[in-house]
Amino acid sequence: GQNIDQPTEMTATEGAIVQINCTYQTSGFNGLFWYQQHAGEAPTFLSYNVLDGLEEKGRFSSFLSRSKGYSYLLLKELQMKDSASYLCAVRDRGGSYIPTFGRGTSLIVHP
């Protein structure tokens, strides 16, 4: 089975930096996703990490440590439009196209 844990809610100030953590316990590991979901909308893909380290995409970065079962999503220069839920999901087996999702972190950005 899989256990994916992330904070339920976080708040931050416009222009600041926020880090959203995700820890996982799985029988195997073959990749970790981050998705963004605005209220009332569908999730959209942000990042996919397979190897350890940091991957940067503009204001968003995603980090993975496979030995610690840990990932984080880093959002810089926060904007009001970044208010959304952020979903962490894990593929546990090679060849599996079935990720398991965590419950999501609701991020509220205030002025």
Partner 1 sequence: NAGVTQTPKFRVLKTGQSMTLLCAQDMNHEYMYWYRQDPGMGLRLIHYSVGEGTTAKGEVPDGYNVSRLKKQNFLLGLESAAPSQTSVYFCASTIRGGASYEQFFGPGTRLTVL
Q: Binding residues for partner 1, per CB under 8 A?
A: 8, 31, 33, 35, 41-45, 48, 87, 89, 91, 97-104
| Closest distance of CB 11 from partner 1, Å | 18
Q: Which is nearer to partner 1, 8 or 27 (CB)?
A: 8
Residue 28 Cβ, how far from partner 1 at the closest point, in Å? 15
Tokens coding 83 = 């208010």
Cβ pair 81, 64 in contact under 8 A: no
Q: Give the integer Cα–Cα distance in Å for 44 and 107.
A: 15
